[in-house]
Amino acid sequence: MLLVLFKIGEDSYAINTESIVEIIPSIKLRHLTGVPDYIAGVFDYRGKIVPVVDINIRTIKKPVKQRLSTRIILLRYPFTEDQQPIVGIMGEGMTDIIEIDESKIQEKEIKSKDAPHLGALLKYNDKFIQCINIENILTKEDQENLFSNKIKAQ
């Protein structure tokens, strides 16, 4: 299994590369009105409007710091059978990709009502890494609002 590593605060997190379309440098986003604070904005990606989630705000209520290692991971978002839009996740320290033999992972599923996007906790090389469940990064209401034609920009 290939994982992209990044930081939220001092802790390490990962996203499985299976859903990744592309990883791009942080760019200027267009802000939206009437969306949760963890939606950093949108940008045009090859003719599609792509919403971007600030993973730090979503997880620890503090915004991502703009650094050289700040990136946006573009993901195929599991939405419906007929539609699979792209969503971006902005995070810090997105510079490492690791390959993990799944049979050697010590895994513990951690569930939180307030953070349904946080998944398995892995121990890898004496370091804890928590996986992000991308299907839970947006609420159902946010999915309907962001992936419809009713987006309003400031």
What local confidence, expressed as pLDDT, does residue 151 receive?
45
- Is 82's pLDDT higher than 80? no
Q: What is the DSSP letter of 143?
A: H
Strands 20-25, 71-76: pairing kind: antiparallel
What local confidence, expressed as pLDDT, does residue 51 receive?
93
What local confidence, expressed as pLDDT, does residue 154 receive?
44
- Assess contact for 57 and 37: CB atoms under 8 A: yes
Residue 111 domain flag? yes
pLDDT in tens, 29-55: 999 888 889 999 999 999 888 999 999
Q: What is the domain extent for residue 90?
A: 2-146
Burial degree of 76 (CB within 10 A; 0-12, 13-18, 19+)? middle
- Assess contact for 102 and 120: CB atoms under 8 A: no
Among candidate residues 137, 94, 118, 134, the one with its CA nearest the CA of residue 5: 94
As for how many domains the chain has, the answer is: 1
What local confidence, expressed as pLDDT, does residue 4 receive?
93
Residue 100 domain flag? yes
Residue 43 domain flag? yes
pLDDT in tens, 98-117: 898 776 565 666 666 667 78
CATH assignment of the domain containing 97: 2.40.50.180
What local confidence, expressed as pLDDT, does residue 136 receive?
75
Q: How far is CA 101 from CA 6, 118, 119, 123, in A?
A: 19, 21, 18, 12
